[in-house]
Homo-oligomer: A and B are copies of this chain.
Amino acid sequence: MLQRPDPFNAQCPTRRVLDRIGDKWAVLILILLERETLRFNELRRRIDSISQKMLSQTLKSLERDGLISRRAFATVPVTVEYALTPLGRTLASTVQALTQWAEAHIGEVEEAQRRYDRGEVAA
């Protein structure tokens, strides 16, 4: 791998990583797991409107990428815990910055949308 990473090249692996971050469910899961280890249905309850399918699918991808770890316990009913790996932890803090941006600037974005929808040109 001597080639410099270049997310603008479709073949570059960093592009695939960006695509993964570009998964809205993955972002939410990473943020929740940064605070604490959670079980499947706990995640489901906390993330409003996620379907079981998308949750299970997203968890599987995150595990494959080494960002979260999955541990099953033979309790009854079975318990499955998801936690961030050290690698996932480094990403989660970066991703946190995004949600903080969203919370801080949501007002400006909404105002821009209203202006745009009224036909006004951007400032």
Cross-chain contact A122 with B90 (CB below 8 angstroms): no
- Whole-angstrom distance between the Cβ of A25 and the nearest chain B Cβ: 9
Q: How far is the CA of A8 from the CA of B45 in the complex (A)?
A: 10
Interface residues of A in 75-109 (CB under 8 A from B): 85, 87, 90-91, 94-95, 97-99, 101-103, 105-109
* CB-defined contacts of A107 to chain B, threshold 8 Å: 1
- Is A106 touching B13 in the complex (CB atoms < 8 A)? yes
Give the 5 A-B residue pairs with the shortest CB-CB distance, closest first. Answer: A66-B112, A17-B102, A10-B49, A22-B24, A14-B102
Can you list 26 contacts pairing A with B, beta carbon distance less than 8 Å?
A1-B107, A7-B103, A8-B32, A8-B46, A8-B48, A10-B48, A13-B109, A13-B110, A17-B102, A17-B105, A17-B106, A18-B24, A21-B27, A21-B102, A22-B27, A63-B116, A64-B113, A65-B112, A67-B112, A69-B122, A87-B105, A90-B101, A91-B101, A91-B105, A94-B98, A94-B101
